[in-house]
Amino acid sequence: MLAVALGAVLLVWSVNYVVGKLTLTHLDALTLASFRFQLSAALLLAIYFSQRGRTPLRAGDVWAFVYLGFFGFAVNQGCFVLGLSLTTSQHSVLIIALGPILILLLASALKLEELAMGKSLGMIISFCGVLLLETDQGSPLHSPLLLGDLITLAGTLGFSIYTVLGKRVAGLYDALSMTTFNATAAALLWLPLAIRHGMRLDWKSVGWSAWAGLFYMVAFSSVGG
């Protein structure tokens, strides 16, 4: 059952690269990212409050969810959309593949995991593979996609920090509660941008395909995943 769930998440997130790229042809990156946060939080809150056995938020954990929401959602998903608008989906896939390496290094630095020989070897092989693919067309330093790649890398680093720091509260909350609190914190952080871009948006010019793409990124990638 776990393997099926992981396979489903992998499929949903893989399609998300293509959907995101298509949606960005209709909505600018900041509008898409800010709308995505607000809708994701609203949907998660609706699901959360519909559950009878939901885990309540403890007052002492509010600050934890603020910084977890910042790194895991506001930075991670925000930089994903911004980076995707400035680079290719192929580059995004490669850079995000560095996530496990960053997570292992951070966990080791905080003494949460041991950097054993097997893990170190796997990390080196993974990094070399990504490096070879990234430099296939020449030095990435001279690439017009460099800015987008760096923004995507910042998002990957944000998710890595979230993953490591999230261990402190992960055992106290179920998956739905933890995701809801994180998404709500990120939505509040991005709310000023959402209002600003919502006021400036020419709503009539946005076609159905843009709304369909936004719906997919919200319902399937953010909430379902």
213 falls within a domain? no
Cα(181)–Cα(189) distance, integer angstroms: 13
As for how many domains the chain has, the answer is 1
84 falls within a domain? yes
Secondary structure of residue 51 in the 3-state scheme: coil
The predicted structure's pLDDT at residue 94: 76
The predicted structure's pLDDT at residue 198: 93
* Structural domain harbouring 82: 59-191
85 falls within a domain? yes
5 falls within a domain? no
Q: What is the pLDDT of residues 100-145, one digit of tens each?
A: 777 777 777 666 666 677 767 776 776 776 666 666 666 655 666 7
Q: Does 23 have pLDDT greater than 80?
A: yes
- DSSP class of residue 123 equals H
Q: What is the pLDDT of residues 44-80, one digit of tens each?
A: 999 999 988 888 999 999 999 999 999 999 999 999 9
Q: What is the mean pLDDT of the chain?
A: 86
Task: Provide the pLDDT confidence category of residue 40 given band limits of 50, 70 and 90.
Answer: very high
207 falls within a domain? no
30 falls within a domain? no
Q: Mean pLDDT highest for which of 5-14, 142-151, 183-192?
A: 183-192
The predicted structure's pLDDT at residue 140: 59
Cα(86)–Cα(149) distance, integer angstroms: 8
Share of the chain above pLDDT 70, in %: 87
100 falls within a domain? yes
Buried b / exposed e over 98-116, threshold 16 CB at 10 Å, is bbbbbbbebbbeeeebeee
109 falls within a domain? yes
- DSSP class of residue 221 equals I
Q: Pseudo-torsion of CA 32, 34, 36, 37, nearest 10°?
A: 160
| Average of per-residue pLDDT across 37-46 | 96
Q: Does 193 have pLDDT greater than 80?
A: yes
| Average of per-residue pLDDT across 184-211 | 93
Q: Which residue has the tokens 């890595």?
A: 160
Share of the chain above pLDDT 90, in %: 44
Cα(126)–Cα(98) distance, integer angstroms: 8
Q: What is the pLDDT of residues 76-99, one digit of tens each?
A: 999 999 988 988 777 787 778 777
Cα(194)–Cα(75) distance, integer angstroms: 15
